[in-house]
Amino acid sequence: MNLATSIILAAGTMTFANEWYQTKQVNWRVPIATLILAAAFDGLARLDNGAATSLAVIAFIGAGTTEFNGKSAFATLAQLFPAKGTTAK
């Protein structure tokens, strides 16, 4: 497995976990779409590894910052692990 595929799988896992945490319901479309996208990125990485990795990083950032049900995955993580000396809202 190459780096681009790993990044896409991480982005999909982050999206799935964030939605599951916020809604308390499992959305099976996310893992299925993640596996299809990971296979596509594996093929793209065989053609041009640098381009595939760059696009995967963009997808990871997009998955982390896009708000679903009010909070992004990065915002959820920030709420779960507040900085030392601060209180969670």
pLDDT band at 83 (very low <50, low <70, confident <90, very high): confident
Domain count, the chain: 1
pLDDT band at 81 (very low <50, low <70, confident <90, very high): confident
With tokens 């959820």, the residue in question is 76
Q: Is the pLDDT of residue 88 over 60?
A: no
Q: Are 56 and 4 in contact (CB under 8 A)?
A: yes
* Residue 2: Cβ within 10 Å count: 15
Is residue 22 assigned to a domain? yes
Residue 72's domain comprises 3-80
Q: Record the pTM.
A: 0.87
Confidence (pLDDT) at 87: 63
Cα 67 versus chain centre, distance: 12
The mean of the pLDDT values for the chain is 92
Kindly state the average pLDDT of the residues 15-29: 93
Is residue 56 assigned to a domain? yes
Is residue 52 assigned to a domain? yes
